[in-house]
Amino acid sequence: MFLALAEMRRAKARFGMLIVSIALLVFLILYQQSLRNGLLNSFIGAITTQSAPVLVYSVDGQRVIQGSVITPDAEALVASAEGVGEMGRLAQGTFSVTTSEGAFDASLIGYERPSLGAPETLTEGRLPAGPDEAVASDVDAADGFDIGDVVTVQPGGLEIEVVGLAKDAQLNAGPTLFVTYPTYLDAVVAQNPDAGEPPPNVIALAPADGVSDAELVANVNAQSDDLDALTKDDAARETPGVSQIQSSFLIIFALYALVVPCITGLFFLIVTFQKAAALTLLRAVGAPARRLVGALLIQATAILGLGYLLGVLLYAPVSQQRLGGIALSFETTAVVVWALILGAGGLLSSLFAARRVLRIDPIRATTGAGVGA
């Protein structure tokens, strides 16, 4: 350890630049991890955090809530499926609304039963207890969607009071309001008095006792080829556009996972070549090879650890910010997982340099040669 730390003190600039480089890469990795999760939450968070375990779409809706339409006949088929415990209508539409902060296009999600469609991640306030009340996404509070604020549907002038806030409850990356089903119908009439009562977009279900979510999905889908039942997690994951987002970020993360180990391994390999003569002399005067390898691994561990720590310190304040309509958050799991991935990769890559150290022939100290090829 003395040998490793002494060398690091003598070459502060060289090792410092490597630490900073690793820190910046770690910052970019963790920031993009938060960006990906924030983007997905803003896009489909309202689906994953609502209370209904099973959602039934029409096939023509292509797993988009607003594009799905459940006809009375389809609703009757769902009700007759084996294993249905609870059943409720669910509807979603995009409405022009105004708040004290300006005009927005907001998604209104209307549910018949709190157990089938209401948000489960309430952080403040309460669920709607009557007409013209709503739960909003907490990331939109500053835009006039905070508790006590009034949201007005335009045109029509229907006023809806925000009585609660929920975490990760956005849909389509915009302001989202959860309301009772009658309030949703009032909003439809306010926007278009001639619209009449629209059919529900989705049927929300809960299985009966002893029936799993997967069994209920299979039973409903067996009723008709026009029904598309999914668990809520599958419904969120298979929303159009989600898989493309995940695939794009997966490629980026895979490249990052290769870059840090490559930089670390290349650095120590170059350093090993540069100090070949000194390493050969140390071996000639009796320094064990394992001690030299141990010093190299201590340096690699210290550099990776300090770089990762600095990267996390840079990431922590940025992860609490909001990027447009996307709320970022500190991803603790990602911090731990990437620490293991990059730490293991960095140490493994440094073993290439360790291999060169182990191949040093002490007799070369008399010839001026260094590390063998």
Give the tens place of pLDDT for each residue, 287-314.
Answer: 565 666 666 677 778 888 888 999 999 9
pLDDT band at residue 359 using 50, 70 and 90 as cut-offs: low
C-alpha 70/C-alpha 21 separation (Å) is 55
C-alpha 236/C-alpha 230 separation (Å) is 9
pTM of the model: 0.78
Name residue, tokens 């990052």: 256
Q: Are residues 188 and 99 in the same domain?
A: yes
Q: Are residues 132 and 218 in the same domain?
A: yes
Three-state secondary structure call for residue 129:
coil
Q: In which region does residue 356 sit, left (phi positive, over 0), alpha (psi from -120 to 50) or beta (all else)?
A: alpha
pLDDT of residue 373: 45
Indicate whether 217 pLDDT > 90.
yes
Domain range spanning residue 30? 2-44+242-366
Q: Are residues 210 and 166 in the same domain?
A: yes
Q: Are residues 269 and 200 in the same domain?
A: no
Q: Are residues 129 and 10 in the same domain?
A: no
Asked if residue 53 has a cis previous peptide bond (ω within 30° of 0), the answer is no
pLDDT of residue 219: 94
- What residues does 90 pair with on adjacent strands? 111, 202
Q: How far is CA 291 from the centre of its chain?
A: 43
Domain assignment present for residue 371? The answer is no
Q: What does DSSP say about strands 158-166 and 122-125: parallel, antiparallel, or unpaired?
A: antiparallel
Domain assignment present for residue 216? The answer is yes
Structural domain ending residue among the three candidates 220, 237, 254 = 237
How much is the mean pLDDT over the chain? 84
Listed in sequence order, the residues at least 6 apart from 357 whose beta carbon sits closer than 8 Å to its beta carbon are: 272, 279, 289, 292, 293, 296, 371
Number of neighbouring beta carbons within 10 Å of residue 262? 13
pLDDT band at residue 57 using 50, 70 and 90 as cut-offs: very high
